[in-house]
Amino acid sequence: MNNSEVQQIVEDARLARAEGRMIFTAIAMIDFRKEAYTAWDISELIEGVERQGWLLAHTSEMYVGIATGHLRMTSVFRRHDW
């Protein structure tokens, strides 16, 4: 996942909030071989979506290519008024 992908998800979260949706689901493919010790892009994604008025409710992960080092992360956010 790169910065432009993170920004697209954050923008989608903003639009979902503006449309009055109550739940926002983000799906991200992560190359976990590059994130051996920290996962800055995941942190930026969660923080960015929460800044748009959502609260992380659930995250699940699924390895979709152990040999290639890819992980699919599905995060469910609920509308939240800070």
54, pLDDT greater than 90:
yes
CA angle 39, 42, 48 (to 5 degrees): 135
Mention every residue, 6+ apart, whose C-beta is less than 8 A from residue 11. Answer: none
| pLDDT 10s digits, 1-51 | 788 899 999 999 999 999 999 999 999 888 776 655 567 788 899 999 999
Q: Please, where are the H alpha helices in the chain?
A: 3-18, 40-51
DSSP structure string for 24-44: EEEEEEEETTS-SS--HHHHH
Higher pLDDT, 20 or 66: 20
pLDDT at 34: 62
pTM of the model: 0.84
pLDDT at 75: 96
Mean pLDDT, range 49-74, rounded to an integer: 87
